[in-house]
Amino acid sequence: MIEQLISVAAGPRDEAMQVTAYGTTDVGNKRKRNEDAYLIDEQLRLFVVCDGMGGHAAGDVAAQKTIEFMADLIRQNKSALCDAQSSPDGESKIAELVKTATVQTGHHICELASAHAEYAGMGTTMTMLSIVGNKGAMSHIGDSRLYLLRSDNLKQLSTDHTLANDLLHCGILTNNDFEISCFHHMLTRAIGRDEIVECDTLLFDVLPEDRFLLCSDGLTRHVGTSAELTGLLRRPDLASIPEELVTLANHRGGLDNITVVVVHVTADD
């Protein structure tokens, strides 16, 4: 488990924040069914993208059930999350609550797979953003991604849990080898893979005009450069961005299911 707490300039309180989000999912050009799933819950301020593991049984079930379990657990802990904002150790409490919800979700998926033979071996990635007051909390497993666009600077907040990424960080692959590696889509972590989920959590301040992108790898394998994503995410019509990104990915091959969620935070005048 990797936990990070990072700070920037303090943002506004929860009551001064407005959060708007749009999303879409598409089967792509090559797959027979869509095993991606996503959640937009503006009331909970919870946003999730899951990519069911291709080639495994019931990947679509794993993705949808992961979203349902995660939403239920965040809903049950919403008061505790809000109360943590005013606590002296609030940041660590929020991170711990998000981590616990993720671990419990992973346990539920494993139990479901054990109870139903047709679900044996199912798994999914999960990338989640929860906005709590002026804080953003990420929980992440797999190779779906979370990006933050702030003041025209795009930053990938998640780390891909793939064999290629692990080999790069170990020094076994060079940067050039990494770009052409066949291990980009070999996951080293996933919900349903192990009984105990190993997730990355990240806590950060949220500022007015921040934009977030959550997406499955069906997008980033075709639309991956920072400059290109920045240009698309800056567009004023937020509602059109998910469909534009999906269309672009399909135009470039659409080799996998494609899911996009875009979140925009503004100050409440």
Question: Looking at residues 53-82, what average pLDDT do you find?
Answer: 91
CA atoms of 109 and 65, how far apart (whole Å)? 7
CA atoms of 211 and 262, how far apart (whole Å)? 7
pLDDT at 232: 96
Is 261 within 8 Å of 42 (Cβ atoms)? no
Which of 15-29, 159-173, 189-203, 222-236 comes out lowest in average pLDDT? Answer: 159-173
CA atoms of 131 and 207, how far apart (whole Å)? 11
Structural domains in the chain, CATH included, are 2-267 (3.60.40.10)
CA distances from 4 to 9, 74, 203 (A): 17, 20, 7
Is 47 within 8 Å of 260 (Cβ atoms)? no
pTM confidence score: 0.91
pLDDT at 51: 98
| pLDDT tens readout for residues 241-268 | 999 999 999 999 999 999 999 999 999 8
Average pLDDT over the chain reads: 89
Confidence of residue 172 (pLDDT cuts 50, 70, 90): confident
CA atoms of 184 and 178, how far apart (whole Å)? 8
Half-sphere exposure of 16 (CA within 13 A, CB side): 12
| pLDDT tens readout for residues 124-140 | 999 999 999 999 999 99
